[in-house]
Amino acid sequence: MTDAQNHTSTNHGAITLNVGVEFGTNTGKRLLTYTDASGVSPTATLNLGVADVFFNGNGQFTVDSHRRITVGSFSGASNLTIANVKLTNTTGASAFAIVTPHNTGTFTLGGVTDAGTLARIIAPNSIVTGGSVANTTVDLGGVGVLFLGTVRNSIINIGTGFPAGPAIITGVVTDSLLNADGAVRLIKTVSWTNTENANLGISAVSLGTLLVTGNANAAGDFEPNLSLSSTGNALGVASIAGTLDKGGWDINGNANVIVAKVVGAGWSGTVSGKLNNMVVRTGGMPAPLTVTNLNVLNVLAGDITGGIDVGTARVIRTAGAISGTTITSAGNIFALVADSLVSTHITAGDVSVGFTDPNATAAGLGTAVISNVVLTSHSANAFSGSTIMAHTITTSRLGSVDTSKVGGMAAAKFSNVVLTIGTTNLHLGPNDFASAEDITTFKGTDFGNFRIRVLA
């Protein structure tokens, strides 16, 4: 081959390298080993197709009798890093790999490009970097498996050449984007964070599994935007070992399961189809959530303080309080379960009247049903300064009611309300709601600023 200085190599020659070397099918060379500036000596292989490996730095290469290329420095420590690898003539059975001895050490990989499709790119110890700002580092027509190490300031573009979509496995990812023209089977990453801005993201038609694992050195945070365009099953399972924050998730179809250890206030989620199950393990739910059809939101520890806007909801549950927020449903809510309800306003259906409106009628409550409201706290003032409004509120267990603050429930139809005023436990049944009125006392117990409004 010939370099930029028009020096021609022989099988055992040495030249100045600042361009690249080629190996692969029908090239007479079957693999490449070089010494990276980090001191490790990775080996690159490609079973089907041609790889042109371009280097930054200067060095020399030799080709031995087994058609193996070795690239190293002229003398002293190597200053070589891979600027880019251009793959051509690949097929769906092609596998390109860069591995280090004993799978230890790291090396710099400026990028990999292939206008075609290949089965696998395996470089688990790579440090893929686009420079000081995000630049295209990986640009592929299609790939079955993309296995990289650390990824920084990179743009990864993947076409639809591999019909099932890629499985993407990485180490720590920072300030990087992924653009997939089709489906993505898997993203498995140690963490994916944004330090420069919150607009860096992942876009695809659909995503089967998102697995953010964390490790001993990274909590497993996930911060990019996520945009999935499928109107069908857009997201299978997302599991975040650390904090879900900063990014906005825009899921155009259905999402099956989202599990996060922590959700930050900077996150937002929109699911235009059905969200089957979202679980937040600790820290509450401070972020806004918009879902057309919410099956279950389960906050295992902490308060719900972010706004929730749904078309319908089966279960919204938290082990803590629902506090200082609004929950709005266009349709029915089967169950709201919380420790307490504080300074929160909940509506189900097309509610067009305010709770304190003296002229409010049932016509302003729409037609939706809230089947169950359960507050589990045994402490004072479990229900405080809050309102719940729907056409029908079936069963409510409110616990201790704060009568010093304006609040209560409004509906055209109630079945059962259980509450405590001071030390008096009260149970109102269907017969107690037979007349349209504001119930402000019951069995000689004054409700103060709390009331149950039966509208006609």
Over residues 280-332, the pLDDT tens digits come to 999 999 999 999 999 999 999 999 999 999 999 999 999 999 999 999 999 99
Residue 192 CA to residue 173 CA, distance in Å, equals 5
- pLDDT recorded at residue 13: 44
- pLDDT recorded at residue 59: 79
Beta bridge partners of 8: 2
- pLDDT recorded at residue 132: 75
Sign of CA dihedral 95, 100, 103, 104: negative
- Cα 341 to Cα 136, 247, 295, 407, 413, distances in angstroms: 49, 28, 21, 11, 21
Residue 360 carries which side chain, given as an amino acid letter? A
- pLDDT recorded at residue 72: 81
Residue 156 CA to residue 138 CA, distance in Å, equals 5
Pairing of strands 31-34, 43-46: antiparallel
- pLDDT recorded at residue 83: 93
Pairing of strands 167-169, 154-158: unpaired
The pTM of the full predicted model, rounded to 2 decimals, is 0.93
The two tokens of residue 252 are 């155009």
- pLDDT recorded at residue 135: 86
Residue among 227, 225, 243, 153 nearest 196 (CA): 153
Residue 393 CA to residue 455 CA, distance in Å, equals 12
Residue 79 CA to residue 36 CA, distance in Å, equals 7
- Cα 432 to Cα 48, 68, 246, 355, 393, distances in angstroms: 80, 90, 49, 20, 14
In order along the chain (456 residues), what is the average pLDDT of each group of 10 residues? 40 50 92 94 97 89 88 80 96 97 96 97 96 86 98 96 95 96 98 83 98 97 97 98 96 98 97 98 98 98 98 98 98 98 98 96 97 97 98 98 98 98 97 97 97 98
CB within 8 Å of 122: residues ≥ 6 apart? 95, 96, 97, 98, 99, 145, 147
Asked if residues 422 and 399 have their Cβ atoms less than 8 Å apart, the reply is no
